[in-house]
Structure formats: C-alpha cells, structure tokens
Amino acid sequence: MANQHFQIVIIGAGPAGMAAALTTTKAGLETIVIDDQKDNGGQVYRNLQANQKTSPAYLGQSYYDGVKLAQSFADCGAIYRPDCTVWQITDTHEIALVSQGKAELITADYIIIATGAIERPMPVKGWTLPGVMSVGGAQTLLKQAAIGAEDAVFVGSGPLLYLTAWQYIKAGLSVRAVIDITGTKQWRSAIPFAPLAFLQPGMVAMGRKWLGDIRRNTEVINHVIAVEIIGQSQAQGVSCTLSTGDKIEIGSNHIFLHQGVVPNVNLTMATGLAHQWDHQAHCWRPVIDVTGKSSDEQIYIAGDGAGIGGAKAAVIAGRLAASAIVARCGKPRFLAQLYYKLRHLHYLSIRPFLDRLYLPPAHFRLAQADETIICRCEAVSKADVDAALDSGASGPNQLKAFCRAGMGRCQGRSCGLVVQEMIASHTGQSMTETGYYRLRPPVKPITLAELASLEGPWPD
C-alpha cells in the first residue's frame, strides 16, 4: 500500500499548530493536523469546546482567548486527526502514526512540529509519593474534568504555578499555601530586563493580578531554599527550609509541584534535528531560523516546542512558519512574514525577564537528598546516579547503561534535564558538552499489535 502523501503535515493542534493550519489551508495547500489528544487546543486551550458551554469564570479570560482560534481552525478545511500519535519521523520524511490501534505511514512535503512544552522536572525528596502531582497535571484535571483538590499546597515558581493557584482560588477551592522558590538572586538578574517586559503591559498586569489575588487568599511563603515532601506511603505535607534557616511544615495530602516549562524536544531530537543549549532559559531547544525552519529544510518548528513563548507567541510562530512554507510553495508572502516576525519579537519581549526570574535555583534543579528518585520509570535514586558517575559513566547515554536512568516509558522526559545537570556538575563540563539522551522511536509507547498492523492484523 502506497503511503498517503500530504503537502503539509502539522503535528500538534495547540495554538501554534492550529494557527499554522489557518495559513496553509488559506493558501490552498493540502494540510493534515495530527494531535494525540481527543480535542484540539493543546495544553493551554484544553477542553475548550466543552468548557465554553458552562464558561466557568475561574479558567480566566486568557483561556477563552482560544475560542476564536479553535473556531477558525474547525472551519479551515484541514484534515484533523485527533487521538493520533506520531511516533517517528524518518530521514526521508516518512511519518509513522498510530491511531485507534492501527499504525500508518504518511509522507509530506513539509512538516510543522508544534508539540509544545513539558514541565521541567522538580526532583525533591518525596516527589514520587501518591498525592504529589505536577501543577500542569492539576490544571489539566481542572480543565478536563472540573476536578480540584481542597487544601492543596503549590510549590515552586513560574507563571503556570501562579495561574493555576489563581484558578483554584477562583474556583472556590481553598489553597493551603503557595511555597515560592523564586530567590532574591533571580530578582536581581531579572530586574534589568523589566523595561522590556513592559512592552507586554497586558501580560505584566495579568501576572500582577494573579499574584495579588493569591496573596489575598492564601499564605505565600518566600525565601525558601529547600523543600521536602513529608510522608511514607502518601504525601502528608511539605517541609520547607527558609533562607534564615527556619523550617516550616505544612500539612496537606495534595501537593502540586512546578518549576517552569521547557520545550518538549522528544520528537525533534528523535528525528535527528540539530538542538542547542539555551543558556537563558536553561533548556534544550531546536536550532531554527527566524521563520522556524529547523536543520532539516523540510521541517519547521513552531510554538513552545521551539522555545517557550506562551500561547500568543505560539500563534504568531505558527503563522510565520506556515507563511514561510507557503512562500516556498511559490506564493510570496513578504509582508505577512515581516508582520509576523515583528509581532513574534514583540511577544517574546517579556521572556528575558521571565526566564531569568523563574529559572529555578540550581539546588532545585538538582536533587538534594540521596534517596530522592531521579528516574521515576526505573526508580533510580540520586545515590544510584552518583554511584554510576563515580564508577566512570561520563555522559547521559553511558549513564543509561550504568544505572538505567532514562530507560523507561517516559524516554527521559522526567529525568533528562536533572541527570544531565548532575553529570555536568560532576565532570565540570558544560551542558552542551554533556549533551542529552539519544532518543529513540517510538517517541511514545505503542503496542506490539499496533506496530505490527503496518503488516496486517495481529495473529490470534
């Protein structure tokens, strides 16, 4: 069976992917949009259609900003494949998908990867206990199922933490405390970039509103230098150490951790595209030109997957990448491209400030206690990683062989950055020299029967 061919394959139906599809379909290019979720919207506009009916105010105006985009996307004429996972892109631009138990191969002239961000791991002691969840996970439950926990404690830093705590409060849930790990050092390094941030007065105002509302409704603990989850078989609270040396314990069965988001590079790395270490945001990002073109001429990357910029920047990045492709397909779009380039720069103007302010301090990026689990899938502790480093493992890939960190289901999503930073601090090498795990297809697990379905039905 010949592979189905498309002019444009867009992977991810968040703001960047949806916006890109509007541009490519308008130019008459045959476009397919693939997303592994049931609904479009990505993380930020998750479950928008359903929530729109009741429109709970606690989700905030920025959430409902997505309505127009989602509507235009639904009408744009792109083939939309929800519940469909891309698990590999080959050198020859064969894209391997799986959907409803069946694998397929399709090919494309151009690919736009818009797979968004993932949360930076926050490996504190006890973070794998039941009752502990990432803030992103907590927000997903709120959006998807209107489920929230009473008396939760939010720990960490970054816009998503404050937004979610704010949404919790607005939803009428009592928040026990917000433990903010943002240090004075970060404030000092961020302040010089504050004027740039004010090019985005709306965003600054929104952030201040969240913080103000949070302060009025719950206790905010600052100057925290260490955090531990208390509990044996279930989280029972958080213990935090202040810069003064004092310790505070707060009891709760629901602890939400978050210390920022980083580009989800699993697919782009597994595809073999070039990546670079981003010193400002302290994460890997694909190497792209101003339009989003990657090291592979046919592949573009847009939105948070190319570098964290937020939903509005993602929309523009999607438009920009799509316009560049449309131009390469023979329909020049000089003005549109210029316009998007400028808007994109404008939206990114707040990043130097945010990236510096909310970069978690090193002692939160690295695990502190020996028994802290680093690789959740394979239950590898900090002590195990240290032992591997002492016995000669010199890089992330060797470390896999020495102690199995990164060998599990999540393909390093929840340990990669931590492990890499541990190696770098052990060897004294830079993050660029240290490098990241070599990632392998399938980018997300697929079943044997799904994989075999390229050949035929599974034998009984």
- Min separation Cβ 400 and other proteins, Å: 9
Q: Which of 99, 171, 407, 426 binds other proteins (CB under 8 A)?
A: 407
Angle ∠(362,204,360) on CA atoms, nearest 5: 5
Q: Is 1 in the site for other proteins (CB under 8 A)?
A: no
In the structure encoding, which two tokens stand for residue 411, read together? Answer: 């393909």
Q: How far apart are CA 17 and CA 25, in angstroms?
A: 12
Q: Is-contact 337 324, C-beta < 8 A?
A: yes
**Minimal distance, residue 434 CB to other proteins, in Å:** 14
**If binding is defined by CB under 8 A, does position 398 make contact with other proteins?**
yes
Query: Could you tell me which stretch among 52-60, 191-199, 254-262, 438-446 binds other proteins (CB under 8 A)?
Result: 438-446
Binding of other proteins by 441 (CB under 8 A)? yes
Which is nearer to other proteins, 294 or 411 (by Cβ)? 411
CA proximity to 281, closest of 194, 351, 361, 343 = 351
By CB under 8 A, tell whether 287 contacts other proteins: no
Q: Which stretch binds other proteins (CB under 8 A): 10-18, 312-320, 356-364, 445-453?
A: 445-453
Among 79, 105, 173, 242, binds other proteins (CB under 8 A): 105
Q: Is 403 helix (H, G, I), strand (E, B) or coil?
A: helix
* Spatial distance between the Cα atoms of 11 and 2, rounded to a whole number of angstroms: 21
Q: Sort 167 into a burial class: Cβ within 10 Å, 0-12 / 13-18 / 19+.
A: buried
Q: Is 231 in the site for other proteins (CB under 8 A)?
A: no
Among 164, 200, 291, 411, binds other proteins (CB under 8 A): 411
Q: Which is nearer to other proteins, 89 or 155 (CB)?
A: 89
Secondary structure letter of residue 293 according to DSSP: B
Nearest approach in angstroms of CB 93 to other proteins is 12
In degrees rounded to 5, what are phi and psi of residue 239?
-115, 130
Q: How far apart are CA 90 and CA 35, in angstroms?
A: 18
Instruction: Pick the binder of other proteins from 14, 131, 408, 416 (CB under 8 A).
Output: 408
Check residue 456 for interaction with other proteins (CB under 8 A).
yes
Residue in 195, 251, 332, 445 binding other proteins, rule: CB under 8 A: 445
**What is the end-to-end Cα distance of the chain in Å, rounded?**
23
Distance CA 253, CA 132 (A): 8
Q: CA 161 to CA 181: how far, in whole Å?
A: 11
Binding of residue 452 to other proteins (CB under 8 A): yes
Q: Residue 137 interacts with other proteins (CB under 8 A)?
A: no
Residue closer to other proteins (CB basis): 191 or 452:
452
Q: H or E stretch including 152?
A: strand 152-157
Q: Which helix (H) or strand (E) is 156 found in, with range?
A: strand 152-157
Residues 45-104 touching other proteins, rule: CB under 8 A, are 88, 90-91, 94, 96, 103
**Minimal distance, residue 411 CB to other proteins, in Å:** 7
Q: Which of 60, 77, 272, 361 binds other proteins (CB under 8 A)?
A: 272
- Helix segments in 200-289, DSSP class H: 201-217, 266-270
In whole angstroms, the minimum distance from the beta carbon of 397 to other proteins comes to 8
Decide whether 262 or 403 has the Cβ nearer to other proteins: 403
For the bound state, the minimum distance from the C-beta of residue 405 to other proteins, rounded and expressed in Å, comes to 14
DSSP letters spanning 101-148: TEEEEEEEEEEEE---EEEPP---BTTTSTTEEEHHHHHHHHHHH---
Residues that bind other proteins (rule: CB under 8 A) add up to a total of 33
Tell me which stretch binds other proteins (CB under 8 A): 325-333, 336-344, 365-373, 405-413.
405-413
Could you give the CA distance from residue 285 to residue 26 in angstroms, rounded to a whole number?
Answer: 29
Q: Is 335 in the site for other proteins (CB under 8 A)?
A: no
User: Rule CB under 8 A: which residues touch other proteins?
Assistant: 88, 90-91, 94, 96, 103, 105, 272, 394-395, 398, 401, 407-409, 411, 440-442, 445-449, 451-456, 458-460
